[in-house]
Amino acid sequence: MRVQLARLAGFAVLAFWCLFPLYWMVVSSLKGQSAILSNALLPAAPSLDNYETIFQGAHNLLYALRNSVIVAGTTTVVALLVGTSAAYAAARLPLRRRGLVLGVILAASTFPHIAIVPPLFQLFTDWGWIDTYQALVLPYVSFGLPFAIWVLYGYFRQLPWELEQAAQVDGCTPLTAFRRVVLPLAAPGVFTTAILVFVIAWNEFLLANTFSLTLASQPVTVAIARFTGGSELEQPFGPIMAAGVVVTVPLLVIVLIFQRKIIGGLTAGGLKG
Amino acid sequence: MAVTMQTAERRLGRRLLLPTTVLLVLMVGYPIVWALRLSLYSDSITGATRFLGLDNYTRALWGADAERFWSAAWNTALFTVTAGGLELVIGVAMALVMHHLGAFRGPVRAMILVPWAIPTAVAAVLWQWMLTPNGIVNDLLGRQILWTGETTAARAAIVLVDVWKTAPFVGLLVLAGLQLIPKELYESAKMDGAGALRRFTSVTLPLVAPAILVAMLFRILDLMRLYDTPAILTNGANGTTTLSLFTYQEAIDQVRFGYGSALSTLTFMLVFGVALLVIRGCGVKVFETGEGRR
């Protein structure tokens, strides 16, 4: 009995921590312009006005959503294609200085991103890349890659070592052994990694805030941070909360559906030491 | 046969690593080196730059801008230590709670990912809203705190947002470490007469230490490049300018590529130095590179 009560208390604290801010974002987005200041835990007269506001006019959130889907989607595809190959090589092929290769890849995932912002801004200006998708996709791939390799490395090393040998006995070259035998078995890991890389690209703010100037390339994170609506004096928090819900909910749905795999991916890579 | 297979595998390995190498060199290596070059010149987008030598660096380190640079460095260190420390303590506590939740564990594992999945930019505006003077946080606390209007409160707000978003993530990593500990260890410790506290300090902590160290290394490196939260929540006002934000304001807002590149290079070297110290000092082993059967 006491154990059950303690469990309930722990559960309540964790639920409050994780869910209350999200709940507050949803509730605030449903309150009308006058009710939003009331701090009532439930909207007295729920309305979708805020959602109408963000999907009309010159700053329609649909542009930013389109940009985010294109940028994060392209980043995920490229990072996975390139990263799966590299992770396989790092995990299962004979490689001189494996530790050094892995160390460099790891260092590339943890350097402060601000370090490449001033030089890239100058280079992208020269190349006419400011406010284009590639100005975001290419750096994002380089951010997502080390992470993808790091997680996939863990998956590839868990597979039995006899796989390639058996494939080679059957006459496969190393490349066909990778494509036909190992890759299908690692598919769940690749899928999980894709979700994680997509989340990283979808959530990025620093480079997006630097290189995307207009609706042509501005992703949702920047659109929300810069959202001013019609009023210039005060931040219109109602519409901003509505935009936050729109941007977050698809991500949460994906994450909740695949939570077991995602937790596996996040921790498998992290705990190999 | 074995020898040629080995050669073919080596060749394949090099080919499979090539695209990664090219991308990382182009998008990370080259810009970092290019920044080194830019940092030696005066600021200009048009090309009419003057060679300055190390003037941009001395300006930040002990020249005209030293006060601002070091205050940004100090703020960054402060955020790293306080937020990192809180995330460690709260994360471990959350992991222990989750570990003993029984039937509640399933739903908790799902919701623990929620703060992690919310984009930092969204989390920042959400907390900005919750922390307004008449917002829900002050309402719940029964106080009138000007969260972004005063140094201590503004810093606390930045730490709060980061801890809220990341402590559950640290908790997940530590939980994974906890679940690897065999039950028998606790039983034999119990038989040897170890109390709950002793079991925690003598069995749990040493065995999850590697997981905690790796999680902390990544938290430290991540916190040292903190940008999103202060940029959105306070825009650096009231003692919340971090090194990344300071560099951004100089390089991008003020369009000072030369000086900005010097700042970005300094930030890079500081983070790199701290990373080396932590890895050396704690003996963090991030990758398992044991050669397996090969």
**Rounded distance between C-alpha atoms, residue B18 and residue B14, angstroms:** 6
Tell whether B76 is covered by a domain.
yes
Domain count within chain B? 1
Q: What are residue B145's phi and psi, to 5 degrees? A: -90, 130
Q: Which two tokens stand for residue A19?
A: 């869910």
Count other C-beta atoms under 10 Å from residue B20's C-beta.
27
B260 contact A CB<8A: yes
What is the pLDDT, as a whole number, of residue A268?
63
Tell whether A42 is covered by a domain.
no
**Rounded distance between C-alpha atoms, residue A14 and residue A133, angstroms:** 39
Tell whether A40 is covered by a domain.
no
Q: Tell me: pLDDT of B294 over 50.
A: no
| Single-letter amino acid code for the residue at B82 | T
What is the pLDDT, as a whole number, of residue B287?
53
**pLDDT, chain B, mean:** 88
| B residues 80..119 contacting A (CB < 8 A) | 94, 97-98, 100-104, 107-115, 117-119
Tell whether B278 is covered by a domain.
yes
What is the pLDDT, as a whole number, of residue B21?
93
Tell whether B20 is covered by a domain.
no
What is the pLDDT, as a whole number, of residue B45?
61
What is the pLDDT, as a whole number, of residue A271?
40
> What is the residue-level pLDDT of chain A in tens, covering all 273 positions?
788 888 888 899 999 999 999 999 999 999 987 777 788 888 888 889 999 989 987 778 999 999 999 999 999 999 999 999 999 999 988 888 888 888 888 888 788 999 999 999 989 999 999 999 999 999 999 999 998 998 898 888 888 888 888 888 888 888 888 888 888 888 888 998 999 899 999 999 999 999 998 999 999 999 999 887 555 556 789 999 999 999 999 889 988 888 888 887 777 654 433
Q: What is the mean pLDDT of residues B10-28?
A: 92
What is the pLDDT, as a whole number, of residue B292?
41
What is the pLDDT, as a whole number, of residue B20?
94
Tell whether B125 is covered by a domain.
yes
What is the pLDDT, as a whole number, of residue A273?
30
Q: Looking up tokens 């987005």, which residue turns up?
A: A29
Q: What are residue B252's phi and psi, to 5 degrees? A: -100, -55
The CATH number linked to A157 is: 1.10.3720.10
Domain count within chain A? 1
B54: closest CA of chain A, how far (Å) = 17
Summarised one tens digit per residue, pLDDT across range B93-116 is 999 999 888 777 778 888 889 999
What residues does B131 pair with on adjacent strands? none
CA distances from A90 to A94, A200, A218 (A): 8, 23, 35
**Rounded distance between C-alpha atoms, residue B268 and residue B35, angstroms:** 11
- Segment among A155-164, B3-12, B24-33, B249-258 with least mean pLDDT: B3-12
Q: Looking up tokens 């598919």, which residue turns up?
A: A187
Tell whether B294 is covered by a domain.
no
Tell whether B220 is covered by a domain.
yes
**Rounded distance between C-alpha atoms, residue B242 and residue B294, angstroms:** 46
Full-model pTM: 0.91
What is the pLDDT, as a whole number, of residue A128?
94
B282: closest CA of chain A, how far (Å) = 13
Under the banding of pLDDT at 50, 70 and 90, the label for residue B154 is very high
Q: Looking up tokens 């749905």, which residue turns up?
A: A253
Tell whether A243 is covered by a domain.
yes
Asked if A141 and B27 come within 8 Å (Cβ–Cβ), the reply is: yes
Q: Tell me: pLDDT of B138 over 90.
A: yes
What is the pLDDT, as a whole number, of residue B284?
59
**Rounded distance between C-alpha atoms, residue A158 and residue A91, angstroms:** 10
Tell whether A161 is covered by a domain.
yes
Count other C-beta atoms under 10 Å from residue B144's C-beta.
9
Summarised one tens digit per residue, pLDDT across range B197-249 is 888 888 888 888 888 888 888 899 899 999 999 999 999 999 999 999 999 99
Tell whether A222 is covered by a domain.
yes
What is the pLDDT, as a whole number, of residue A44?
81
**Rounded distance between C-alpha atoms, residue A105 and residue A125, angstroms:** 28
B188: closest CA of chain A, how far (Å) = 22
Residues spanned by the domain of A176: 61-270
Residues spanned by the domain of B212: 55-282
Half-sphere exposure of B220 (CA within 13 A, CB side): 20
Tell whether A198 is covered by a domain.
yes
DSSP secondary structure string for all residues of B63-125: STTHHHHHHHHHHHHHHHHHHHHHHHHHHHHHHHHHHT-GGGHHHHHHHTTHHHHS-HHHHHH
Q: Looking up tokens 């505006």, which residue turns up?
A: B125
Q: Which two tokens stand for residue B231?
A: 């940029």
DSSP-based three-state secondary structure for B252:
helix
Tell whether B136 is covered by a domain.
yes
Q: Tell me: pLDDT of B286 over 60.
A: no
- Segment among B41-55, B60-74, B260-274 with least mean pLDDT: B41-55
Could you tell me where the DSSP H helices lie in chain B? 2-24, 30-38, 55-61, 66-99, 105-111, 114-117, 120-130, 136-141, 151-179, 183-191, 196-199, 205-224, 228-233, 243-248, 257-282
**Rounded distance between C-alpha atoms, residue A84 and residue A92, angstroms:** 12
B102 phi-psi bin (left φ>0, alpha ψ -120 to 50, beta other): left
The CATH number linked to B68 is: 1.10.3720.10
Tell whether A9 is covered by a domain.
no
Tell whether A69 is covered by a domain.
yes
**Who among A102, A235, A259 is closest to B289 (CB)?**
A102
Asked if A267 and B173 come within 8 Å (Cβ–Cβ), the reply is: yes
Under the banding of pLDDT at 50, 70 and 90, the label for residue B168 is very high
Under the banding of pLDDT at 50, 70 and 90, the label for residue B125 is very high
- Segment among B45-49, B144-148, B187-191 with least mean pLDDT: B45-49
Whether the Cβ atoms of residue B249 and residue B109 lie closer than 8 Å to each other: no
Tell whether B250 is covered by a domain.
yes
